Structure 1
Amino acid sequence: MAIIVNLDVMLAKRKMSLSELSEKVGITLANLSILKTNKAKAIRFSTLDLICKALDCQPSDILQYTES
Protein backbone atom coordinates (compact mmCIF):
# COMPACT_ATOMS: atom_id res chain seq x y z
CA MET A 1 0.00 0.00 0.00
CA ALA A 2 1.13 3.51 -0.69
CA ILE A 3 -0.04 7.07 -0.47
CA ILE A 4 0.85 9.11 -3.54
CA VAL A 5 1.05 12.90 -3.42
CA ASN A 6 -0.29 14.47 -6.61
CA LEU A 7 0.83 17.99 -5.76
CA ASP A 8 2.44 18.45 -9.17
CA VAL A 9 -0.86 17.61 -10.88
CA MET A 10 -2.79 20.21 -8.89
CA LEU A 11 -0.08 22.81 -9.44
CA ALA A 12 -0.33 22.23 -13.20
CA LYS A 13 -4.13 22.43 -13.12
CA ARG A 14 -3.96 25.74 -11.23
CA LYS A 15 -1.04 26.99 -13.37
CA MET A 16 0.94 27.71 -10.23
CA SER A 17 4.64 27.16 -9.59
CA LEU A 18 6.01 25.45 -6.52
CA SER A 19 7.69 28.70 -5.47
CA GLU A 20 4.41 30.61 -5.81
CA LEU A 21 2.67 28.02 -3.61
CA SER A 22 5.54 28.29 -1.13
CA GLU A 23 4.99 32.04 -0.85
CA LYS A 24 1.21 31.69 -0.46
CA VAL A 25 1.30 29.05 2.28
CA GLY A 26 4.49 30.03 4.09
CA ILE A 27 6.12 26.62 3.72
CA THR A 28 9.69 26.34 2.51
CA LEU A 29 10.36 25.37 -1.06
CA ALA A 30 12.47 22.46 0.21
CA ASN A 31 9.59 21.01 2.26
CA LEU A 32 7.11 21.40 -0.60
CA SER A 33 9.59 19.74 -2.92
CA ILE A 34 9.79 16.75 -0.55
CA LEU A 35 6.00 16.47 -0.73
CA LYS A 36 5.92 16.88 -4.50
CA THR A 37 8.48 14.13 -5.07
CA ASN A 38 6.66 11.66 -2.77
CA LYS A 39 9.57 11.52 -0.33
CA ALA A 40 7.56 12.79 2.66
CA LYS A 41 6.77 10.31 5.43
CA ALA A 42 3.97 12.44 6.90
CA ILE A 43 2.02 15.67 6.44
CA ARG A 44 0.37 17.77 9.12
CA PHE A 45 -3.32 18.50 8.75
CA SER A 46 -2.53 22.20 9.13
CA THR A 47 -0.12 21.99 6.18
CA LEU A 48 -2.66 20.09 4.09
CA ASP A 49 -5.26 22.71 5.00
CA LEU A 50 -3.01 25.57 3.82
CA ILE A 51 -2.18 23.79 0.56
CA CYS A 52 -5.84 23.00 -0.15
CA LYS A 53 -6.86 26.61 0.51
CA ALA A 54 -4.13 27.96 -1.76
CA LEU A 55 -4.98 25.50 -4.57
CA ASP A 56 -8.76 25.63 -3.98
CA CYS A 57 -9.01 21.85 -3.83
CA GLN A 58 -9.84 18.92 -1.58
CA PRO A 59 -7.30 16.67 0.18
CA SER A 60 -8.39 13.85 -2.15
CA ASP A 61 -7.18 15.96 -5.10
CA ILE A 62 -3.68 15.85 -3.62
CA LEU A 63 -3.50 12.50 -1.81
CA GLN A 64 -4.17 9.17 -3.52
CA TYR A 65 -4.17 5.69 -1.94
CA THR A 66 -2.95 2.72 -3.96
CA GLU A 67 -2.60 -0.94 -3.04
CA SER A 68 0.74 -1.84 -4.58
Structure 2
Amino acid sequence: GVWGSRQRKIRAAYQFPPYTSLGSVLMLLAIPLILSQTGTTDLQILSTTESSERRQIFPWIASPAPFPVKVP
Protein backbone atom coordinates (compact mmCIF):
# COMPACT_ATOMS: atom_id res chain seq x y z
CA GLY A 1 0.00 0.00 0.00
CA VAL A 2 0.84 3.62 -0.23
CA TRP A 3 1.24 4.11 3.54
CA GLY A 4 2.96 0.82 4.41
CA SER A 5 2.23 -2.87 4.35
CA ARG A 6 -0.69 -4.46 6.16
CA GLN A 7 1.70 -5.99 8.70
CA ARG A 8 3.18 -2.57 9.57
CA LYS A 9 -0.30 -1.06 9.93
CA ILE A 10 -1.33 -3.83 12.33
CA ARG A 11 1.86 -3.39 14.36
CA ALA A 12 1.29 0.36 14.56
CA ALA A 13 -2.29 -0.21 15.70
CA TYR A 14 -1.04 -2.38 18.58
CA GLN A 15 1.64 0.12 19.58
CA PHE A 16 -0.66 3.15 19.63
CA PRO A 17 -2.61 2.44 22.89
CA PRO A 18 0.41 1.82 25.16
CA TYR A 19 2.25 4.93 23.94
CA THR A 20 -0.89 7.05 24.25
CA SER A 21 -1.54 5.71 27.75
CA LEU A 22 2.03 6.38 28.87
CA GLY A 23 1.86 9.97 27.68
CA SER A 24 -1.46 10.51 29.43
CA VAL A 25 -0.25 8.96 32.69
CA LEU A 26 2.77 11.26 32.73
CA MET A 27 0.50 14.29 32.32
CA LEU A 28 -1.87 13.00 35.00
CA LEU A 29 1.05 12.59 37.41
CA ALA A 30 2.48 16.03 36.65
CA ILE A 31 -0.70 18.00 37.40
CA PRO A 32 -1.24 16.75 40.99
CA LEU A 33 2.51 17.03 41.62
CA ILE A 34 2.46 20.69 40.60
CA LEU A 35 -0.63 21.25 42.74
CA SER A 36 0.91 19.59 45.81
CA GLN A 37 4.19 21.50 45.46
CA THR A 38 2.73 24.95 44.84
CA GLY A 39 -0.89 24.81 45.98
CA THR A 40 -2.20 26.00 42.61
CA THR A 41 -2.41 25.14 38.93
CA ASP A 42 -2.98 28.75 37.83
CA LEU A 43 -0.34 29.47 35.18
CA GLN A 44 -0.09 33.17 36.07
CA ILE A 45 0.70 32.32 39.69
CA LEU A 46 3.03 29.48 38.70
CA SER A 47 5.03 31.80 36.44
CA THR A 48 5.93 33.95 39.46
CA THR A 49 6.37 31.13 41.99
CA GLU A 50 9.90 30.30 43.10
CA SER A 51 10.82 26.62 43.15
CA SER A 52 14.08 24.69 43.10
CA GLU A 53 15.30 23.29 39.80
CA ARG A 54 15.16 19.77 41.21
CA ARG A 55 11.41 20.10 41.92
CA GLN A 56 10.77 21.48 38.42
CA ILE A 57 12.40 18.68 36.41
CA PHE A 58 9.64 16.03 36.42
CA PRO A 59 6.72 18.40 35.71
CA TRP A 60 8.80 20.12 33.00
CA ILE A 61 9.38 16.76 31.25
CA ALA A 62 6.02 15.12 31.98
CA SER A 63 3.68 17.97 31.04
CA PRO A 64 4.49 18.15 27.31
CA ALA A 65 5.05 14.36 26.99
CA PRO A 66 1.58 13.52 25.58
CA PHE A 67 1.89 15.93 22.66
CA PRO A 68 4.71 14.29 20.65
CA VAL A 69 3.10 10.90 21.25
CA LYS A 70 -0.02 12.09 19.41
CA VAL A 71 1.86 13.59 16.46
CA PRO A 72 2.52 10.99 13.73
TM-score (norm: length of structure 2) = 0.29
Greater strand share, structure number: 1
Greater helix share, structure number: 2
Q: Rg larger in 1 or in 2?
A: 2
TM-score (norm: length of structure 1) = 0.30
